[in-house]
Structure 1
Amino acid sequence: MKQTTSVFYISVIVALAFIFWGVVFPENMLNVTERIQGFISTELGWFYLLSATFYVAVGIYLIVSPFGSIRLGKPDEKPEYTYLTWFAFLFTAGMGIGLVFWGSAEPLSHYFTPASADPATQQAAAEAMRYSIFHWGIHPWAIYAVVALTLAYFQYRKDEPALFSSTFRPLIGHRVTGPIGKTIDVFVVFATIFGTATSLGFGAAQITAGLIYLFPSLESINYNLFQIVVIVIVTILFSISAMTGIDKGIRILSNLNVRLAILLMAFVLLLGPTSYIMGVFTQGIGSYVQNFFGMSFSMDVYDPDSSWVQDWTLFYWAWWISWSPFVGAFIARVSRGRTIREFVIGVIALPSLFGAFWFSVFGGSSIYFENRGGGLYEQMDAGGTEMALFALLEQFPLTFFVALITVLLIASFFITSADSATVVLGMQTTGGNLNPPNAVKLIWGLIIAGTAGVLLVTSEEGLDALQTASIIGAFPFAIIIILMIVSLFKELRNEKETLNVNRERLRQERLALRNDRERVKREQQLLKKERRRLQKNNEEMESNKKKKN
């Protein structure tokens, strides 16, 4: 514990205070947080829409700008991880568990409660897929990308500690080590603790529901006790994984998660309505691209009785922003050695495309079977959102076996998410140590699990309130992200010498290539002349032979 900083102790006190509030006065906490969240969504929803789209624009600019050639590390440094492992890290930390949870549930919800179409119509189905892809596509990954890129740039390019406060050095100088910097780091820790704890709590509820679905006899066990047992087991597993380090536990589980997820997706794709799914994917992508700007700036201004955008889009944007400290810090941790262009394309394009295909497979199949009397929405409405995926799997053979694999996949995703969170929390509370001590990671793991467990057992309102509190934190953090971007571009302006060197190297390479082409061209011409000369000599020799004969 010698490596811990004051951020550690302040964060623990703040976390315990909020847990105490949620346990002792859950209804009060829920009431207060919901009123604040309602005010932000109603009065400042435009800010979420503009800021999220601004992050997308920043990502696109970095891809096409000369800054894209800058490497996150030394000029000749190579990436630590292969593309497959890197993508597994992105997928697992970013939203893997969310895709499993919402892959069927969100399109079904939009199908029966659409944004503007008539419910349960073909237009509602098209709208459901378009908005599902939108909510899990470019915007959330752009949020993660700009946060992760800024952290990675200052860590690996400027040798700054792996702290959010370090990214503000170009703006506030040495004050990053003072109260301002510590406040930023405490806020990041706060968002990570409660974002992960609420997800762990709801994940425990989903795993519990899945096990009861598979083994109905377990329903006789006290539900709260069952959830605590699930949380204890998950905590033990992710603590073991965390102590083995990123290169072992998290890497192995992340690769396993991606393989299992692809296997599950292939099962539904090949044994389900394959042609329909591929049509949904093709049309969904086209509709997403066609309506991208309209959805990005859409609000319920002219329909005050509707709260659809507030309930879905604004909620998602706030949720992704609230998760960006944790996900961004972890992505930065595993992205050393990549160029800015490679990094941004990899973080935004690949996961967005994968997510679109995932929703097409699971969401498209769910709507397909629902229209043929599958009763999926009825089961989801009766048993909760977590039942949507299991209701879909009932339409396929080997239901029990596939559902069991799904529960294991959900558990594995939660283990890696919590595991990654403890690494990030350890980094932020040990002065930016990229490999924080196991004792620190273990303490944060217990705090996360304890928070989820206590609030699940004592009060569902407490857990909802904690989730709302973490989302409220998205508003100030959205401003922090904008300041991080300003700081990044201010520092990038000092890279002109590097860009000039890169430009000169590229010019030399092009000149060398042009010289090589000209040399090859001259050699080909000489070769042609030599061939003609030899051919002419052969013809003369043949002619002389005939004359002699």
Structure 2
Amino acid sequence: MPSAQQVSKQQENQQSFKDLVGANGALHPALLPGISVDEDAKKFKVDWWVSGTALVVVIALVLLGIFDAEELGEAAAAGVHWVSLNTGWFFTILTITVFAFMLIVGYSSKGNIPLGTDDEAPEFSTGSWIAMLFSAGMGIGLLFFGSYEPLHFFLNTPPGFSATPGSPEAMNAAIGQTLLHWGPFAWSFYALVGGAIAYSAYRRGRSPLISAIFTPIFNERLAMPLGRVIDTFAILVTLFGTAVSLGLGALQICRGVEIVSGIGPLGNGAIIGLIVALTIVFIFSAVSGVKRGIRILSNINMVVALVLALFVFIAGPTLFLLDFIPSALVAFVGGLPAMLSVSASSSTEAAAFMESWTTYYWAWWVSWTPFVGMFIARISRGRTLREFVTVVIIIPSIVCLLWFSIMGGTSMWMEMNGAEISAVQSSQEYLFRVLDNLPFTALASVVAMFSLTIFFVTSADSASLVMATTSQSGKSNPDKKLTVVWGVSLSAVAITLLVAGGEETVSALQALVTIAALPFAIILVFLMIAWWKDLSTDPLVLRRKYATVAIEEGVRKGIRQHGDAFAFSAGVTEPDRGAGSWLDQKDSSLTDWYEDVARDRNEDADQKAADEAESAKSL
């Protein structure tokens, strides 16, 4: 005989389903409130096929990097050259398409759709949300390229611009090209994957995996093998892409220590010791979860980065920067046609530039979408699509505008005024060279290294969490042991690459990750198709369409029958004249997604209640 708790739970479930049933006695697709993935209702087991395959590939590439770094580098360079020369046009078109697609998703009628159930509140404050976006999405790159990239383009004017290198006009060309690479186009890739995963998991009740997004277009026979290939690929690009960033970050931190302390050059022992120490920190942060470790560190780093930017702004050429920041925005917007029209077929110089910069960046952002997209999905629950698109694309782009204008504008101004910022041994030194020409050099350099360190930690702990989630079939809070395993693997790969071949091996791996972006770019095309199909049948979209048709028909009928003296009330119409005559309610795909998850959840809840009752009885 069922217990009182079980009876109460069953009655509650029956009532909740009753509220969603239409006149025909079946679930009505326009009444569904959405349903989120629930860890009690799904059995999140470790997918050993995905994890094992990823591990084998990781070991193979690491061994190749150790024993034949030169061969790896040559193969990677040849691959990047082929990708840039033959598919650069595809990456450019994809970039523009993804950006336009996300604007349509965010600012059309679909922008009101929540990334969660109806009326679900956001899990994190807006400030913490934005801080975590930057820590995962850009991280170390902001400090590494902030001073370096604009100055490089200032001295080497990009194709599409006629400005003389080193001239005031070249400054606008340099900042415009930099913002093309780091601005809204880059963030639209992250928004696409992050929004699609969040919608699929927290609105449709599927596992928070990239493979789950393709449910609307995969048949059952293809779903399992193709899904596993996609998830394995996601782990690989996450692991190697993050390992590259950690390697570059470690090199820059060590270079900062050499400059500040006067000790050096630091050898492999110092680099290994640094990575090991930071590994302990980021693993502790990762197992603490998103709400504690990652959120707290991200908030701290946003403050530190803001302090550093304000210091450079105030201690540097303030009046120049006040003029330069608005002109940077104009340079970016005005230069878009010229920058986007450059292709590998334009000239030999343009082909080399696209391979080294623009096509490389598009491929790099695509390769990072599995990691950053999954993490953004995890922290964006409860936001509407309009809010999501605005914050994930527009807000970070504004911050990048300010950051690169301040850091890059200062480096270009110093270079033009004789400081010779470009006279450095490696690209890791540009930031410290700028700080060396400002007051409180030692303190500012220490703050920069502290920010680099936290970016290192937040990037690594986010990646570890994402890889563990993917390995465990999408579990949002994966087992801590699994998170530790992937965290240690991440550091081991970074250490191995740096010790085996240094920057040369890291660059080779970076090129391999870029090559891997090509098949994933094709995946993104089908991802947009699958997600749009889901959004088009969302319950909120159906309800709005019902309202539109009902109001249109009601107004016409009211005026015809009652003139100006009428009001709306629901009433029965002929079957082909009703508000929902356009909808095929017999289409099971409109409700199966909700019914299946809800049934599993209710069965799980009933079983849990029965187990608790049995346990209480035994006591």
TM-score w.r.t. the length of structure 2 is 0.79
Match of 2:177 among 120, 126, 131: 131
Give 1:266's aligned amino acid.
Answer: L
Residues 1:154 and 2:196 are matched in the alignment? no
Query: Which stretch shows the higher mean deviation, 169-178 or 61-70?
Result: 169-178
Name the residue aligned to 2:230. Answer: 184
Name the residue aligned to 1:247. Answer: 291
CA distance in 2 between partners of 1:353 and 1:98 (Å): 16
Shift, 1:387, TM fit: 0.6
Q: How does 1:328-343 map to 2 (within 5 A)?
A: 328-343=373-388
Kindly provide the CA deviation profile for residues 260-313 of structure 1, in whole angstroms up to 9, marking residues without a partner as x: 011111111112111211211111101211222332332242322442232111
CA distance in 2 between partners of 1:294 and 1:150 (Å): 31
Residues 1:434 and 2:476 are matched in the alignment? yes
Q: 1:357/1:314 Cα in 2 relative to 1: closer, same or farther (>3 Å)? A: same
Residues 1:102 and 2:145 are matched in the alignment? yes
Shift, 1:504, TM fit: 4.4
Match of 1:66 among 92, 109, 112: 109
Match of 2:254 among 208, 211, 223: 208
List, as ranges, runs of 4+ consecutive aligned residues in structure 1 with deviation greater than 3 Å. Answer: 496-499, 501-505
Kindly provide the CA deviation profile for residues 113-152 of structure 1, in whole angstroms up to 9, marking residues without a partner as x: 1114322112212111111111110100001111111111
Name the residue aligned to 1:415. Answer: 457
Q: 1:176/1:356 Cα in 2 relative to 1: closer, same or farther (>3 Å)? A: farther
Kindly indicate whether the alpha-carbon contact (under 8 Å) linking 1:242 and 1:423 is maintained by their aligned counterparts in 2. Answer: yes
CA distance in 1 between partners of 2:265 and 2:273 (Å): 15
CA distance in 2 between partners of 1:480 and 1:71 (Å): 24
Residues 1:291 and 2:317 are matched in the alignment? no
CA distance in 1 between partners of 2:367 and 2:344 (Å): 23
Kindly provide the CA deviation profile for residues 124-183 of structure 1, in whole angstroms up to 9, marking residues without a partner as x: 121111111111101000011111111111011111001111111111133465211111
SS at match of 1:459: helix
Name the residue aligned to 2:25. Answer: none
Give 2:128's aligned amino acid.
Answer: T
Shift, 1:5, TM fit: 1.0
Q: 1:390/1:424 Cα in 2 relative to 1: closer, same or farther (>3 Å)? A: same
Shift, 1:502, TM fit: 8.6
Q: 1:253/1:175 Cα in 2 relative to 1: closer, same or farther (>3 Å)? A: farther
Residues 1:79 and 2:122 are matched in the alignment? yes
Residues 1:4 and 2:25 are matched in the alignment? no
Cα-Cα RMSD: 1.9
CA distance in 2 between partners of 1:262 and 1:49 (Å): 32
CA distance in 1 between partners of 2:472 and 2:75 (Å): 33
Kindly indicate whether the alpha-carbon contact (under 8 Å) linking 1:138 and 1:352 is maintained by their aligned counterparts in 2. Answer: yes
Name the residue aligned to 1:310. Answer: 355
CA distance in 1 between partners of 2:488 and 2:222 (Å): 29
Match of 1:364 among 409, 422, 432: 409
Name the residue aligned to 1:378. Answer: 423
Residues 1:257 and 2:297 are matched in the alignment? no
Name the residue aligned to 1:466. Answer: 509
Q: 1:498/1:42 Cα in 2 relative to 1: closer, same or farther (>3 Å)? A: closer
Name the residue aligned to 2:576. Answer: none
Name the residue aligned to 2:611. Answer: none
Name the residue aligned to 1:346. Answer: 391
Q: How does 1:531-542 map to 2 (within 5 A)?
A: none
Aligned length: 503
Match of 1:320 among 365, 375, 388: 365
Shift, 1:503, TM fit: 8.0
CA distance in 2 between partners of 1:335 and 1:450 (Å): 31
SS at match of 1:473: helix
CA distance in 1 between partners of 2:416 and 2:505 (Å): 37
Name the residue aligned to 1:234. Answer: 278
Shift, 1:96, TM fit: 2.8
Give 1:416's aligned amino acid.
Answer: T
SS at match of 1:378: coil
Match of 1:404 among 428, 439, 446: 446
Kindly indicate whether the alpha-carbon contact (under 8 Å) linking 1:166 and 1:176 is maintained by their aligned counterparts in 2. Answer: no
Match of 2:191 among 145, 159, 179: 145
Give 2:450's aligned amino acid.
Answer: L
Kindly indicate whether the alpha-carbon contact (under 8 Å) linking 1:176 and 1:182 is maintained by their aligned counterparts in 2. Answer: no
Query: Which stretch shows the higher mean deviation, 441-450 or 120-129?
Result: 120-129
Kindly indicate whether the alpha-carbon contact (under 8 Å) linking 1:53 and 1:296 is maintained by their aligned counterparts in 2. Answer: no
Q: 1:365/1:434 Cα in 2 relative to 1: closer, same or farther (>3 Å)? A: same
Give 2:407's aligned amino acid.
Answer: F
Give 2:139's aligned amino acid.
Answer: G
Q: Which runs of 5+ in 2 are unaligned?
A: 1-42, 552-619
Residues 1:390 and 2:432 are matched in the alignment? yes
Q: 1:503/1:139 Cα in 2 relative to 1: closer, same or farther (>3 Å)? A: farther
CA distance in 2 between partners of 1:83 and 1:191 (Å): 29
Query: Which stretch shows the higher mean deviation, 302-311 or 81-90?
Result: 302-311
Kindly indicate whether the alpha-carbon contact (under 8 Å) linking 1:427 and 1:434 is maintained by their aligned counterparts in 2. Answer: yes
CA distance in 2 between partners of 1:204 and 1:497 (Å): 47
Q: Identity across aligned pairs (percent)?
A: 35
Shift, 1:64, TM fit: 2.2
Kindly indicate whether the alpha-carbon contact (under 8 Å) linking 1:322 and 1:470 is maintained by their aligned counterparts in 2. Answer: yes
Name the residue aligned to 1:515. Answer: none
Name the residue aligned to 2:529. Answer: 486
Kindly provide the CA deviation profile for residues 400-438 of structure 1, in whole angstroms up to 9, marking residues without a partner as x: 011001101001001000000001001100000000111
CA distance in 1 between partners of 2:62 and 2:229 (Å): 20
Q: Which runs of 5+ in 1 are unaligned?
A: 509-549
Shift, 1:44, TM fit: 1.1
Match of 1:118 among 155, 164, 167: 164
Query: Which stretch shows the higher mean deviation, 452-461 or 244-253?
Result: 452-461
Residues 1:36 and 2:82 are matched in the alignment? no
Name the residue aligned to 1:52. Answer: 95
CA distance in 2 between partners of 1:2 and 1:20 (Å): 32
Q: 1:502/1:156 Cα in 2 relative to 1: closer, same or farther (>3 Å)? A: farther
Give 2:124's aligned amino acid.
Answer: Y
CA distance in 1 between partners of 2:331 and 2:145 (Å): 20
CA distance in 2 between partners of 1:122 and 1:301 (Å): 29
